[in-house]
Amino acid sequence: MLNRDGQLGPMQGKQSRGILAIEMLSTRHLQEALELLTPTKLGTFRAFNAVIADPTHAYWLRWNGDEFGVFPIEAGLHMLASGDLNEDRHGRVAYHLPLWRVANAPDMQSWGDWPKLLASRAHAPEDTNLGAMCIQTDFDYGTVSSSLIAWDQQERIRWHFAPGAPDTTPYTEVSVEQ
């Protein structure tokens, strides 16, 4: 669940988008989660992007505050920030997506280069530190945790969690009941 551009923080009369994420995660199937997203329900939340997936399908969900869209995500590596999927006019995506595409990819045994990429504070020269993968600021905003989650065709799940910024906090395995 990600904020859309200009949608950071709480707003009078709107619910936390975290509630929606919890409700979607409480369903047993992807289709059930999608059915929760009625226009009436969505109207109680600020605009967001989300990704919902199972081992065979993935969708980008875009609620812009007026219209809701569900877009299939093709197999491959993609990046989503506060704009549209793979939106290269978004500085963070334009800088980092090419780095991810040439990195050693993870599998069920190894995370490849992904922990290092998530811990990166590098950003495009014309961008601020808000363009980094791991954001640190001198105001009350930044990366406060990070997860690496793998889910294969046999529905095995592997989850590692860093309970702080991943450049200073190690990932540890989280037990997932299956």
Does the pLDDT of residue 15 top 70, yes or no? yes
DSSP string, 131-153: GSSS-B-SSS-B---EEEEEE-T
Does the pLDDT of residue 9 top 80, yes or no? no
Q: What is the pLDDT of residue 46?
A: 87
Hey, which residues does 59 pair with through a beta bridge?
A: 52, 72
Q: What are phi and psi of 150, to 5 degrees?
A: -120, 140
Amino acid letter, residue 142: G
Q: Rounded CA gap, 131 and 88, in Å?
A: 12
Q: What is the pLDDT of residues 115-138, one digit of tens each?
A: 999 999 999 999 888 899 999 998
Give the pLDDT band of residue 178 (cuts 50, 70, 90): low
Which of helix, strand or coil describes residue 88? coil
Q: What is the pLDDT of residues 132-177, one digit of tens each?
A: 999 999 888 899 999 999 888 787 889 999 999 999 999 999 998 7
Locus of tokens 């906090």: 169
Give the DSSP H/E element, type plus range, for residue 115. helix 114-118
Q: What is the pLDDT of residues 32-68, one digit of tens each?
A: 999 989 888 888 888 899 999 988 899 999 999 899 9
Q: What is the pLDDT of residue 89?
A: 83
Q: What is the pLDDT of residue 95?
A: 95
Provide mean pLDDT across the span 1-12: 77
Strand 172-174 versus strand 2-3 pairing type: unpaired
Burial per residue of 35-66, b for 16 or more beta-carbon CB atoms within 10 angstroms, e otherwise: eebeeeebeebbbbbbebeeeeebbbbbbeee
- pTM check: above 0.95: no
Using alpha carbons, select from 169, 167, 81 the residue that is nearest to residue 131. Answer: 81
Using alpha carbons, select from 86, 104, 111 the residue that is nearest to residue 96. Answer: 86
Q: What is the pLDDT of residues 79-115, one digit of tens each?
A: 998 889 999 888 889 999 999 999 999 988 899 999 9
Spatial neighbors of 155 by CB under 8 A, at least 6 apart, are: 55, 178
Average pLDDT value for the chain: 90
